[in-house]
Amino acid sequence: MNPEPFLQLDRVIHEKGRLAIMSLLAASAELSFTELRDALEMTDGNLTTHIRALQQEGYIAISKSFQNRRPLTTCTLTSAGRKAFAEYIDLLEKIVRQNKPK
Amino acid sequence: MKQSSNMNPKWAEENLQTIRTLMERSALYRRALAPILLLAGVVGLVTMVVGLYFHLDSTRQFCSLWLGAAIVAICGSLLLARRQALKDAEPFWSSPTRRVVQALAPPLAAGMILSLWLTTIRDDLGPSTSFLWILFYGCALHSAGFFMPRLMRRLGLLFVLSSFGFLLVYGVLWKTADPNAHYVMGIYFGAIHLAAGIYLYLTDKGKNAA
pLDDT of residue B195: 95
Cβ neighbours of A31 in B, within 8 Å: 26, 94
The percent of residues in chain B predicted with pLDDT above 70, rounded, is: 88
Q: How much is the pLDDT for B138?
A: 95
Residue pair A100/A83 in contact by the 8 Å Cβ criterion: no
Look at residue A62 and tell me if it is in a domain.
Answer: yes
Average pLDDT along chain B: 84
Of B13, B24, B95, the CB nearest to A29: B95
Q: What is the pLDDT of residue A60?
A: 94
Percent of chain B with pLDDT over 90: 40
Per-residue pLDDT, B106? 95
Q: How confident is the model at residue B8 (pLDDT cuts 50, 70, 90)?
A: low
Give the tens place of pLDDT for each residue, B54-95. 988 888 888 899 999 999 999 999 999 988 888 777 778 877
> For B172-191, what is each residue's pLDDT tens digit?
766 555 667 899 899 999 99
In 3D space, the residue among A85, A5, A17 whose CA is nearest the CA of residue B3 turns out to be A5
User: B90 vs A34: CB contact, 8 Å cut-off?
Assistant: yes
Angle formed by the axes of helices A33-40 and B9-26, nearest 10°: 130
The answer to whether B158 touches B195, Cβ cutoff 8 Å, is: no
CATH of the domain at A15: 1.10.10.10
> How many beta carbons lie within 10 A of that of residue A45, not counting itself?
8
User: Is residue A102 situated within a structural domain?
Assistant: no
Look at residue B135 in the predicted model and tell me its pLDDT: 93
pLDDT at B156: 95
pLDDT of B207 higher than 60: no
Tell me the shortest Cα–Cα distance from A23 to chain B, in angstroms.
5
What is the predicted pLDDT for the residue at B2?
40
Alpha carbon A19 to chain centroid distance?
A: 4
Over chain A, what is the mean pLDDT? 86
Label residue B111 exposed, middle or buried (CB < 10 Å: 0-12, 13-18, 19+).
Answer: buried
**Segments making up each domain of chain B, as ranges:** 35-203
**Considering only CB atoms, which chain B residues are within 8 Å of A38?**
88, 209
B77 vs B39: CA distance, rounded Å: 7
Residue A76 contacts B, CB cutoff 8 Å? no
Burial bucket for residue A3 (CB in 10 Å: 0-12, 13-18, 19+): exposed
Contact assessment for residue B85 and residue B92, using Cβ atoms and an 8 Å cutoff: yes
Residue A56 reports pLDDT greater than 50? yes
Residue from B7, B13, B14, B22 whose CB has the most chain A CBs within 10 Å, to mutate: B22
Q: Are B210 and B97 in contact (CB under 8 A)?
A: yes
- What's the pLDDT score for residue B204? 66
Q: Determine contact, residues B198/B38, Cβ cutoff 8 Å.
A: yes
Q: Which residue of A has its CA nearest to B13?
A: A96
Residue A54's identity, in one-letter code, is L
> What's the predicted TM-score (pTM) here?
0.67
Provide the residue range defining the domain that includes A64.
4-95
How many domains is chain A partitioned into structurally? 1
Residue A101 domain-assigned (yes or no): no
pLDDT at B5: 47
Is ipTM strictly over 0.95?
no
Cα pseudo-dihedral B132, B137, B143, B146, rounded to 10: -150
